[in-house]
Amino acid sequence: MLELAILGLLKEQELHGYELKKRLSEMLGPFSSVSFGSLYPCLARLEAAGAVKAVEAHGDPGPAIPSTGALTGELAAFRARSRAVRGSRGKKVYGITERGEALFEELLLAESQSGDDDRAFNLKLAFARYLPSEARLGLLERRRAHLVERLAKARGAMRARRERLDAYSQSLLDHGTETTERDISWLDGLIELEKQEAPE
Amino acid sequence: MLELAILGLLKEQELHGYELKKRLSEMLGPFSSVSFGSLYPCLARLEAAGAVKAVEAHGDPGPAIPSTGALTGELAAFRARSRAVRGSRGKKVYGITERGEALFEELLLAESQSGDDDRAFNLKLAFARYLPSEARLGLLERRRAHLVERLAKARGAMRARRERLDAYSQSLLDHGTETTERDISWLDGLIELEKQEAPE
DNA sequence: GTCTCGATATATCGGACCGATACATCGAGG
DNA sequence: CCTCGATGTATCGGTCCGATATATCGAGAC
């Protein structure tokens, strides 16, 4: 799912990894932030897949690299190759390719059958402006259905086992249930808005 | 953190993997449930570390295994070895050891500097009855401080960048903020209760 | 009686993501 | 000049996950 986030941000603007992480954190809140240990490998994957591409670092091209001591010809050549694509502070600025745009669409539309459902939904909603209205509505309603199911299962479990749980676990479960209810109300608000804006 | 959950459940009762998963799901709600792909390797780790131990499967010892066709001596010997520790349906029932009890205490007290903070807190709260009152209060107040900090950071980011975000992202962030506020209120309730029960 | 189906049960595999860590450069301030 | 903190890229080991394979058991169909 990180792919989706990166591609979505690069759609608007060319960025390097570090900046990408900052944008991501402010987009999804300081919770659920992304680590470099995921980000850089993911960028490498996307580059290998031809979905993003390191672009010429615009702005100041940086000083000549102060070659520290004697460099073998090999290393000097490598640095020369890097220089074309790295900015002043060794930045590698990435841009999205056409393949990347296509991949973005695909990921955004995909029924997230896999995994991390909360994270995936939040991410998709953050890029919902790229979806046609009916797909947006579908996303919201699928999410709502999911939460309603969750809630039903939680209530069932509570009815069956309440007496076996101590006060802390009960409070935890109650709070979780309440949070899910509020999530559903919030979704209802968004769905309402969505329908108003596309009535027919 | 899965270790903590497993040890906590085995503290109360000897269980096998499948049952462990069910208990875990009902303890933490149907969200944030644990997969077998984590559970079994984790049980193996704990067994290797001497924190849990496969115990004699009580109840019916199961029928003689209907050895399907010809078995090599190797395989027959292996099955014989397993038989001692597996119940009727091939169940492997685990119990906690003294090392496991010690590990549980350690994990429960540990300042969860690492990782998955939400999950870790929920888990610890679910086992809070094993903590002395002041440690419980510490857990709650550390969590509260964490959320307050989160909230401050989120608000700061919002003030700075609100105009750059579309309506969907804004709604997402607002909802997240509100949820965090409610989490804090909930914690305040728990802290209040805790203080009433141990006033001096 | 036997056949099939769903629940019970254990286990492994590849992959995503994380925290820790290492390393280098830059700018501000002492 | 020098150190310190922010910027910046990258890798490593490990945890957890979903998918999948495999096998047994009990209930109900027929």
The stretch B29-56 carries a mean pLDDT of: 91
Grouping H, G, I as helix, E, B as strand and the rest as coil, residue A3 is helix
Q: Which pair of tokens denotes residue B20?
A: 């462990």
What is the interface size between A and B, counted as CB pairs within 8 Å?
A: 87
On strand D, nucleotides with any atom < 7 Å from a protein CB are 7-13, 15-20, 24-26
Look at residue A128 in the predicted model and tell me its pLDDT: 95
For residues B17 and B93, the answer to whether their CB atoms sit within 8 Å is no
**Beta bridge partners of residue A52, listed in sequence order:** A96
Local structure of B33: helix, strand or coil: coil
What is the pLDDT, as a whole number, of residue A122? 93
DSSP string, A27-63: HH-STTPPPHHHHHHHHHHHHHTTSEEE----S---P
Identify the burial level of A8 via C-beta atoms within 10 angstroms of its C-beta, where 0-12 means exposed, 13-18 middle and 19 or more buried: buried
> Would you state the structure tokens that stand for residue A159, as one six-digit string?
């009815």
The mean-pLDDT minimum among A121-135, B11-25, B79-93, B144-158 falls in B79-93
Structure tokens at B43: 């049980």
Strand C at less than 7 A from CB of A88 = yes
Q: Answer yes or no: are the C-beta atoms of A1 and A120 closer than 8 Å.
A: yes
- For residue B53, the SS3 value is strand
Q: Is the CB of B19 under 7 A from strand C?
A: yes
Three-class DSSP category at B94: strand
Query: What is the predicted pLDDT for the residue at B179?
Result: 95
State yes or no: pLDDT of B48 exceeds 70: yes
Q: What is the CATH number of domain A2-109?
A: 1.10.10.10
Over residues A180-197, the pLDDT tens digits come to 999 999 999 999 999 998
b/e code A65-75 from CB counts within 10 Å (16+ = b): eeeeeeeeeee
Provide the mean pLDDT of chain A. Answer: 83
How many other C-beta atoms are found inside a 10 Å radius of the C-beta of residue B153? 15
Q: What average pLDDT does the segment A146-172 reach?
A: 86
A171 inside 8 A of chain B by CB = yes
For residue A60, how many other CB atoms are within 10 A of its CB? 8
The mean pLDDT of B42-62, rounded to a whole number, is 79
| Fold annotation for B2-57+92-109 | Arc Repressor Mutant, subunit A (1.10.10)
B159 pLDDT higher than 90: no
DSSP-derived 3-state class of residue A86: strand
Residue A170: C-alpha distances to residues A29, A152, B20, B144 (Å): 28, 16, 19, 19
User: B179–A182: do the CB atoms touch at under 8 Å?
Assistant: yes
| CA separation for the pair B197, B166 (Å, rounded) | 47
Q: What is the pLDDT of residue B113?
A: 54
CA neighbor of B170 nearest in space, from A15, A18, A190: A190
Q: What is the reported pLDDT for A27?
A: 86
Q: What pLDDT is stored for residue B89 in this prediction?
A: 66
E strand or H helix that includes residue B96: strand B93-96
Question: What kind and span of H or E run contains B134?
Answer: helix B133-161
Residue A103, both tokens:
């991949």
In this predicted structure, the answer to whether residue A58 has a pLDDT above a threshold of 90 is no
- pLDDT score, position A171: 94
Any chain A CB within 8 A of the CB of B27? yes
**Tokens representing A141?**
């309603």
Task: Please answer whether residues B169 and A27 qualify as being in contact, where contact means their C-beta atoms are separated by less than 8 angstroms.
Answer: yes
Please, what is the average pLDDT of chain B? 83
Give residue limits of the domains in chain A: 2-109, 132-197
The yes-or-no verdict on residue A154 having pLDDT over 50 is yes
Query: Would you place residue A163 in the very low, low, confident or very high pLDDT band (cuts 50, 70, 90)?
Result: confident
